[in-house]
Amino acid sequence: MNQKTVLKVEGLEKSFGKVKALAGISFEARRGELFGLLGPNGAGKTTTVRCICSIVKPDSGSVEVEGISVKKKPLETLKRIGVVLEDGKLYDRLTGEENMKLFAQLHGVQNIDERIDEVCKVLEFEEYRKRKFKKLSKGNKQKVLLGQALVINPTLLILDEPTAGLDVPAQKVIRDLLKKIKRDRTILYSTHIMSYAEELCDRLAIIDHGRIIAKGTVKEICKKARTKNLEDAFLKLVGRHV
Amino acid sequence: MFKGIWLIFRKEMWTAFRERRTLLFLFLFPILVWPSFTVLPVLLIGGREKKAAEETSKVVLVSSVETPELTKLLRTSDRIRLVNVEDPSTAVEEKEADCVLYVDSVSLDSLLIHTRLRYDGTRTESKVATNKVELLLSQYEQRVVNQRLVEEGVDEKLLSAVSSRRENVIADTQMMGYFMGLVIGMFIVMGAIMGAASIIIDSTAGEKERKSLELLLTVPIPRSSIMLGKYLAGVTFAFISPILTALGMSLAASFIIPVFASNTSAGLDLSAVISVEKILMILLIVLIMAAFIVALLMAISVRARSNRQAQTFLAPLNIIVVIPVLFLQIIPAVPPTWMFAIPFLNVMLTLRGLLMDTLPPTAFIFTLASNFVFLALALRSAAKGFGSERVLLK
């Protein structure tokens, strides 16, 4: 594994009954890079994320985070990963701050209060931190979800469709936040929205039917597909409308 | 590992105590609602019966024949009072009297008189008055028949063949224990289920539905710690709830027993039924039962997709625990040992046995062992559910 490589996924396969969700996924995400996992619904993005986070066990293949095998030392790798899952929710009866604190404690974070202060400042969430999760707007709920992932100061931040279900202004807020936090960490960003991937990702992999069909920078993928933008490249490579 | 269990346990307790529904099931139901449901009917029905039995009932006598002996018996009875009303046919409805006794002769030369009692079947005072009059009529009949037989030359000694008296082999304190064991046993089992169901459903199926469980699985603590933290929070609730129920019911019993005692001559001293040793044994049984019940609730609700589905899955359990109560009334004070192997029933039998002082030591051990076995099986099933991708992600 290259010294710069934070996440290495190799030959990942996973089936749910007769359905083959992943059929040999391989990619690498480097330090300080925002790596996009782009694909239509049901392509295998969430299953890949679940395999990386030890939520499901792959049938074959391997995942390494900072050179540590997820299969051999799942808890060690999870210490390094902050996660925002698609449609994920936190605890309604806890405040935004309490939710962040809980996840920080579960990750064994030191100086929790200071970390929460920092994260709330970055997320511009200070005004709402004492408000119960259920009383927050969708955009602010998403900020708390991001907050619980950031508070542990992860080496690898995994975001699975973090803008799903948000209105346009809230999506913009989250995208701006990603630009702000991408500087000093590795982010795996799973999405099906082309424009966001084009805007945010340093490199990306296009996934369809559990396989990676293209990998590289936006420019490289467009060049390979002989198109002008990522959306056209995506449609051409996938070979259908999504 | 222990830190993870503690953090999850604390989170569950924290969130549960902020839920009004949980507090309702944990405190309001055991302390107020259930005891009230038990006390009020007994106090209302039993109290009214007791009062009606003690008070003098108002009876209207409408007689078309001369029955001086009967009239004298009715007049001299201290349990009823003969009253005059304008219209006997509406006296009961108008509540001017508790019942009306009509006395007619069957025929002019007949020695037989015919009586008819008019009363209100929905009114306790009226029913009690009718019983009193029927008892007096029975005494009157016995007296008249005896008198006639003596006049016919029958020896008075021959007129009585049986003299009887009831003797209850169960001591007064045991009777009270029987009553308490019957009622409290059921409420303790139901209390444990109701106390824990809310928190367990919410922390398993509820979290799956909200998708917070999946996020929780990404924290660096073993899955078994997550499960145990949730489990221990459930056990805490399942333990506290029946204890509060037992306290509430004991308080209720102190109201009920005076009413109950007047009918059965049971004793009134609660301390005679519950000693410190018995309390400790009851606490141990309740703790093991709570541990088993929560494991069972967890094993079932973790397999549900949503809160609502978990409630549907668990609905039969509420019926299952009531079944032993139905059998409890026909099971003798010292049941065969194998019965102490049946879940739920064994807890109720043990509680009854402890309160009645009829529990063999082997039965107590059998109950503990049985609950341990079922606890292990249920916990294994819950752990299997928590370890299964198919179950957790469905």
**B15, B219, B392: residue with CB nearest A91:** B15
Q: Is A68 on the interface with B (CB under 8 A)?
A: no
Q: Which residues lie across from A160 on neighbouring strands?
A: A190
What is the reported pTM? 0.80
Tally of CB atoms within 10 A around A3:
7
Q: Is A93 on the interface with B (CB under 8 A)?
A: yes
Query: What's the 3-state SS for A183-211?
Result: HHCEEEEEECCHHHHHHHCCEEEEEECCE
Q: Is A134 on the interface with B (CB under 8 A)?
A: no
Give the distance from residue B208's alpha carbon to the nearest chain A alpha carbon, in angstroms.
Answer: 10
Eight-class DSSP state of B271: G
d(CA A188, CA A149): 13
ipTM: 0.91
Residue-level pLDDT, tens digit, chain B, 394 residues = 788 999 999 999 989 888 887 777 778 877 888 777 777 776 677 777 778 888 899 999 998 888 888 899 999 999 999 999 999 999 999 999 999 999 987 665 667 888 999 999 988 899 999 999 999 999 999 888 888 888 888 887 887 788 788 776 766 666 667 777 777 778 888 888 888 998 999 999 999 998 899 999 999 999 999 999 999 999 999 999 888 887 887 777 666 656 555 444 444 455 666 778 888 898 999 999 999 999 999 999 999 999 999 999 998 988 888 788 778 778 887 888 899 999 888 998 998 888 888 888 899 999 999 999 999 999 999 999 998 888 888 7
Q: Which residues of B touch A18 (CB under 8 A)?
A: none
Tokens for B24, please give them: 């309702």
Cα–Cα nearest to A51, from A41, A63, A40, A39: A63
Q: Give the gyration radius of chain B's Cα atoms.
A: 30
d(CA B132, CA B120): 14
* Residue B12 near residue B233 (C-beta atoms within 8 A): yes
CB contacts under 8 A, A 179-218 vs B, are: none
Q: Which residues of A touch B391 (CB under 8 A)?
A: none
Selected for mutation to probe chain B from A98, A106, A152 (highest B CB count within 10 Å) is A106
Q: Domains of chain B by range and CATH?
A: 2-48+170-392 (no CATH), 55-159 (3.40.190)
Give the distance from residue B309's alpha carbon to the nearest chain A alpha carbon, in angstroms.
Answer: 19
Q: Domains of chain A by range and CATH?
A: 1-80+155-166+184-242 (3.40.50.300), 88-151 (no CATH)
Q: Which residues of B touch A (CB under 8 A)?
A: 3-4, 7-8, 11, 14-15, 18-19, 210-212, 214-215, 217-222, 389-390, 392-393
d(CA A49, CA A37): 10
Q: How far is CA B99 from the centre of its chain?
A: 33
Cα–Cα nearest to B12, from B296, B247, B204, B276: B204
**A56, A90, A107: residue with CB nearest B219:** A107
Give the distance from residue B390's alpha carbon to the nearest chain A alpha carbon, in angstroms.
Answer: 8
